[in-house]
Structure 1
Amino acid sequence: MTMHSTMKQIRGLSMLLSVALSGLVPATEKPNIIILFADDISARELPIYGSSVWTEPLSSDSSDPKFRAQTPAIDKLANEGCWIKTAWATTVCSPSRAMMMTGRYAHIHKWWTNGDTGQYEVGNGKFATWPLYESSPIQLGHVAQRAGYGTFWAGKTQMAGDLTKFGYDEGCFTPGNLQDRDNPFTDFKMYQKKVDGKNQIFNSDTDEPLDTYLQHGWYWYPHVRLMNHPGEKTFAWYPHTEESKKSFGLNTYGPDIELEFAFEFMERKQKEGRRFFIYHCSHLGHDAFDWFKPDSPSKWPDTPIVKWDGEKYTRTEPKVTGDKGIYDTHGTTTESGIHHHINYLDYQVWLYQNKLEEMGIADNTIFIFCADNGTSGYGKHSPDRQKGTHVPLIIHAPGMTKHGEQDILVNFSDILPTLADITGYSLPADYEINGESLYPFLFTEKSTHRDWIYAYRGKDQLIRGSKVMRDGFGKWWDVSSEPDDLISFAQITDWNAVGEQHRHERSKLEAILPRFDLWESEHDAPGVHVPEHLQRRGKNRNASRSTKARKP
């Protein structure tokens, strides 16, 4: 890239900033936006975060280099763009996605933690999870839609209610919603039936009983549903054409299908002369039942093999044979382990960047990489310090003033107001948003962002500033310096042993918490009283689970 083109980008993005913050972005100046939202990956798993510890295939801590991910594409993205040293989600999937999508905390949207969501009455004394579009009618998809963008939702939804109401024109879901149990194209799913009066889960591929949670295959031979795909019904099973039916089978990998449809959508929007917003919620990083190896002790099924030669990736075409629980991958897939999932995410980041270059829009596309909560077996579900909340956040955009490591505090509630500034959508003045836009920090000389970040797990509250942190157990930690493993902070038990700045920040953080502490008093939709026997108030517990009993 020439100096002239670089300066042109900076001037263009500076103009974009000035008009974005006034809500008047010309359509011709709006950038495309892609969020690649990975699943259950702690910041420590990415090499750029510099942790001395990461996760090995059986989910224990490891410092063995062979279990460390290799992420050349993400590293390049982080260095040319920036990576946030301390970004917080919540401790587990559903409430993190609710925070991301709404820009709000659980005191408003009522998604407190997995299995613990606010309810509303659907009639005849029946209650259901309060959908986000009811509690929070302005979400990421709506912001982009109202700003004139084409919007696409890929991968994992994990949302209650009607998926057409979240602000997305189209979608490719793996596995969609769990109520979508009748996909005729794959046996990699489960069913439930009564055995001796108790519900028992069975493997549809073998009809053998399983000791796990009800799930579909979202990796190999995946369960896929399309939403509003041109020429199809509102919801259509994939494969959806004669050609795709011929190629679909054991070698089909869900993350590849997601990317294929995201790219197709991008190409169509470009031909239409429209900007696009891609919200790509990959399953990669999430544990899963391994249909190829039903007795595998690892949480993370293998992926297709990808190799980096210093300049580019090559991918080995999978060759899988077998049936009914007995399969042979013929050496064309990796061993199990989360590091391979991260490597495959890196490969997909590389594919995204290549696609943007091919389409000629790399200089006008913002790319965000992040994950929804901590790694399974280490941080997922955990309110201990920031094990569950500390996740990677990497932002790349032409014209940014910030590059490389940024030692600021960011919360996933910040993404929605940032998106609003990018797209030029003006949020209503009376609509409560808990996040703060990152746009001024990223594109001006502003050197700070926010003073504190917040998370929740059921009734547990977590909050952190630059000096001290309160975890979900009510313990306080000194976070003024970062340990090598990113988690072994010194606990504060004697406040006289720390400085005045620590004590002052603690008082400030304690004063913030009551505003959001509504789990007991306002758990459900406003004005709704749920009978005690129908209440969905999850038990607060640490997430040290066996592989067989793990939850989504």
Structure 2
Amino acid sequence: MHMNISKLFLLTGVFMFTSFVYAQEKPLKPNKPNILFIVVDDLRPELGCYGKAQIKSPNIDRLAMSGIVFNNAFANYPVCGPSRASLLSGIYPGTKRFAVWNASQDIDAPGIVSLPMHFKNNNYQTISLGKVYNNFDDGKGSWVKSWRPPAANWDYQSKESIRVFEERNKERYKDKYVRDNNNLPQRGPAYEDPDIPDISYEDGRIASRAVEELQNFSNNGEPFFLAVGFKKPHLPFNAPKKYWDLYQKKDIKLPANYFFSKDAPDMARLNWAELRFFYGIPASGPLPDSTAINLIHGYYACVSYVDAQVGRVLNALEELGLSENTIVVLLGDHGWFLGEHGFWTKQSNMEKGPHAPLIVKVPWKNGDAHTSALVEFVDIYPTLCELAGLSLPVHLQGKSMVPLLDNPSAAGKEYIFYRAGTGETILTKTHAYTEWINSNSGQPYARMLYDHRTDPDENINVADKPENQKLVEELHEKLTMHLKARNSITIP
């Protein structure tokens, strides 16, 4: 008996000591935590930390080990302009707001207090580097300082790419109609792999500038909201050769669902015009398999290239002693298709379009966990406000994700919403339902329904199956209620 009691005291002491040490490892919450907000263009959740072992993303994976990975995070519009304007304003995109690729917050929601402006109004130093808003001069009054690196010739670096780009543009401007319509670009190659240093491309210079700004903040001690916008893996898929060399072409495969979804309506098709502007891409029809493989290879190379730039910024945060006081948010502004459904680019209601990575590291909270709860990008604004102890502006339409940061296994939202073109989608934990609505009658003229329990890749539209009629009606009602609430917001 004496031996058992001794062992019990010993074990209790070890447990208390271990708990004490563990508690000491977590820093106390500062009064004004810094924010490092990293947004990556066209980044889909195909990373090592998302279980995609073929992708070399060690730096983002390292961030994930100390943060919470959101497995089911969705942009509210899968295009750069509206996605960014929506998440930075905290309001949903709609038919008359954030509805086009180059949507502007200042035009569509004038007077709104943006996320960075709210932090600026609370005595934060707010800085924007690279592509944060889609339009460089958007979000007026949000930043103490904003900067983008100059990039000539669409940031091509190889002599051959620059030659092709310049020749195509000379031909383009011989035609008066094309001259007068700048929405008809003729670009260079869709990818290149020159053997050059990282800093030769824009993202390398953006990372360098971010490190400089972190050094300044380390010296002056002022609370900051530093937004860093990296441009890759946006087209063209240009990255230094060493990142292409991380992948063997023989290991790259076309997706299993390299076909259009069965029974899906024609308006669900994606013409991927953004890609067709590039040299070597056919103006219509499918891609040759060899071209498709090269594009996937280029996308992977760009992901690894931008991962290295993220690593430089995260390393500086650690080395400068800022990491314990800094919340880090990393996200892709939306997803991207790499041949799924025969699609390329992103402007689609199909899941690969809006589905994006989202990782949030809060130094004083536990990390190294995943949550499968549904979240949407309008939730980011209220989340950062709550974490920083700021008030919530009355216009916000999202909900804080802090309960999920505290308990990643929590249920979260029952459903979220996103839109693309004229398609409106409600996503539940089991189904994705999309409607295309007649603007005159207000009634849907086409529908899609996918059961993610049996068809996670959305290969068979089951909206017209008799056994799904009740579910379609229920989701239609929920979607209709959302559209009314979304459009009724009053912007101060």
- Answer yes or no: same fold by TM over 0.5: yes
Hey, which of these two has a bigger chunk of helix by percent?
2
**Paired residue total:** 396
* CA distance 1:147–1:455, shift in 2 (3 Å): same
* CA distance 1:258–1:250, shift in 2 (3 Å): closer
- Displacement of 1:306 in angstroms is 5.7
Per the alignment, residue 195 of structure 1 pairs with 174
Q: Distance in 1 between matches of 2:60 and 2:230?
A: 15
Mapped contact 1:301–1:336 kept (Cα < 8 A): no
- Displacement of 1:139 in angstroms is 1.0
Q: Distance in 1 between matches of 2:460 and 2:94?
A: 30
Per the alignment, residue 207 of structure 1 pairs with none
2:125 aligned to which of 145, 150, 167? 150
Runs of 5+ unmatched residues, structure 1: 14-27, 52-64, 118-128, 179-186, 202-209, 221-247, 289-299, 310-334, 527-552
Query: CA-to-partner distance for each residue in 1:225-283, whole Å, 9 max, x for gaps?
Result: xxxxxxxxxxxxxxxxxxxxxxx999722112111111111221222221221211110
Q: Distance in 2 between matches of 1:110 and 1:432?
A: 14
Per the alignment, residue 375 of structure 1 pairs with 336
Given the alignment of the two structures, is residue 37 of structure 1 paired with residue 39 of structure 2, yes or no?
A: yes
- Displacement of 1:390 in angstroms is 0.6
| Paired residues for 1:201-240 under 5 Å | 212=186
Mapped contact 2:98–2:108 kept (Cα < 8 A): no
Mapped contact 1:418–1:436 kept (Cα < 8 A): yes
Per the alignment, residue 425 of structure 1 pairs with 390
Mapped contact 1:109–1:135 kept (Cα < 8 A): no
Q: Distance in 1 between matches of 2:139 and 2:84?
A: 17
| Alignment RMSD (CA, Å) | 4.2
- Displacement of 1:411 in angstroms is 0.7
Q: Secondary structure at the match of 1:433?
A: coil
Mapped contact 2:238–2:298 kept (Cα < 8 A): yes
Give the residue type in structure 2 aligned to 1:475: R
Q: Secondary structure at the match of 1:475?
A: strand
| Paired residues for 1:30-109 under 5 Å | 30-43=32-45, 45-50=46-51, 68-89=54-75, 90-107=77-94
Q: Secondary structure at the match of 1:113?
A: coil
2:467 aligned to which of 481, 490, 497? 497
- Displacement of 1:150 in angstroms is 1.4
Per the alignment, residue 283 of structure 1 pairs with 231
Given the alignment of the two structures, is residue 461 of structure 1 paired with residue 424 of structure 2, yes or no?
A: yes
Q: Secondary structure at the match of 2:226?
A: strand
- Displacement of 1:69 in angstroms is 2.1
1:477 aligned to which of 446, 449, 455? 449
Mapped contact 1:94–1:114 kept (Cα < 8 A): yes
| Paired residues for 1:344-383 under 5 Å | 344-375=305-336, 378=343, 380-383=345-348
* CA distance 1:9–1:422, shift in 2 (3 Å): farther
Given the alignment of the two structures, is residue 508 of structure 1 paired with residue 478 of structure 2, yes or no?
A: yes
Give the residue type in structure 1 aligned to 2:478: K
Runs of 5+ unmatched residues, structure 2: 1-17, 154-161, 247-295, 437-445
Per the alignment, residue 235 of structure 1 pairs with none
Q: Distance in 2 between matches of 1:412 and 1:111?
A: 14
Query: CA-to-partner distance for each residue in 1:268-310, whole Å, 9 max, x for gaps?
Result: 122222122121111011002xxxxxxxxxxx1222636999x
Q: Distance in 2 between matches of 1:6 and 1:506?
A: 49
Q: Secondary structure at the match of 2:391?
A: coil
Give the residue type in structure 2 aligned to 1:7: A
1:252 aligned to which of 197, 200, 208? 200
Per the alignment, residue 110 of structure 1 pairs with 97
What TM-score, normalized to structure 1? Answer: 0.61
Hey, which of these two has a bigger chunk of strand by percent?
1
Mapped contact 1:149–1:274 kept (Cα < 8 A): yes
Q: Distance in 2 between matches of 1:413 and 1:195?
A: 44
Mapped contact 1:454–1:462 kept (Cα < 8 A): yes
Mapped contact 2:48–2:58 kept (Cα < 8 A): no
Per the alignment, residue 57 of structure 1 pairs with none
Mapped contact 2:336–2:346 kept (Cα < 8 A): no
Q: Secondary structure at the match of 1:387?
A: coil
* CA distance 1:391–1:274, shift in 2 (3 Å): same
Q: Secondary structure at the match of 2:334?
A: coil
* CA distance 1:160–1:86, shift in 2 (3 Å): same
Mapped contact 1:414–1:436 kept (Cα < 8 A): yes
Per the alignment, residue 399 of structure 1 pairs with 364
Q: Distance in 2 between matches of 1:74 and 1:161?
A: 26
Q: Distance in 1 between matches of 2:454 and 2:59?
A: 26
Per the alignment, residue 458 of structure 2 pairs with 488
* CA distance 1:352–1:49, shift in 2 (3 Å): same
Per the alignment, residue 325 of structure 1 pairs with none
Identity of matched residues, %: 23
Mapped contact 2:371–2:408 kept (Cα < 8 A): no
